[in-house]
Structure 1
Amino acid sequence: MNKLKVFTRYLRAKVRDIKFYYFSSLYSRKSKPNTINQVKAKKIALLRWDGKIGDMIMTCHFIKLIENNDPSLEITVFSSSALAD
């Protein structure tokens, strides 16, 4: 039983370390290299066919971030008729 406790604690510690590394890299404030060549990108099309209002609200925030980064981009959103309004 003692070996099982030690092994379980070891696994929990490893999972905790992995989660910490993942979220710290995800929300890091350090500048990350830009992987999109902004000179060539002129238009962006977003597809939202799932019909979930919460996902569409998050997509609207994403669109605002894109517009703030480069206002010259043309953004087109394709969605279901329920989310059109």
Structure 2
Amino acid sequence: MRTTILALGILGVLITPAFAGRPVTDEERTKLVEALKAQGCTGGKMEFDSNKFEVDDATCADGKKYDLDFDQAFALLKKKAD
């Protein structure tokens, strides 16, 4: 019984897909670039994940890299030093 439960647990982990963000569309990218510019930032890796837009490793006016999160209306939710 114990072996069966353990085997089912391992199987569940192996077949469960990893939930990752999706790439942003061209239209979303254009709006994100504008939202980043408003924060004094450029570049970074963009994706949509967990009902928000995430930009990782954007370079901002102070020369440092940040991770930024924006809501679906492209308003800033969080800006965290990388």
TM-score past 0.5 threshold: no
* More helix as a share of residues: 1
TM-score, structure 2 normalization: 0.34
Who wins on radius of gyration, i.e. which is larger? 1
Q: Determine which structure has greater relative contact order: mean sequence separation of CA pairs < 8 Å that are 6+ residues apart, divided by chain length.
A: 1
* More strand as a share of residues: 2
TM-score, structure 1 normalization: 0.33
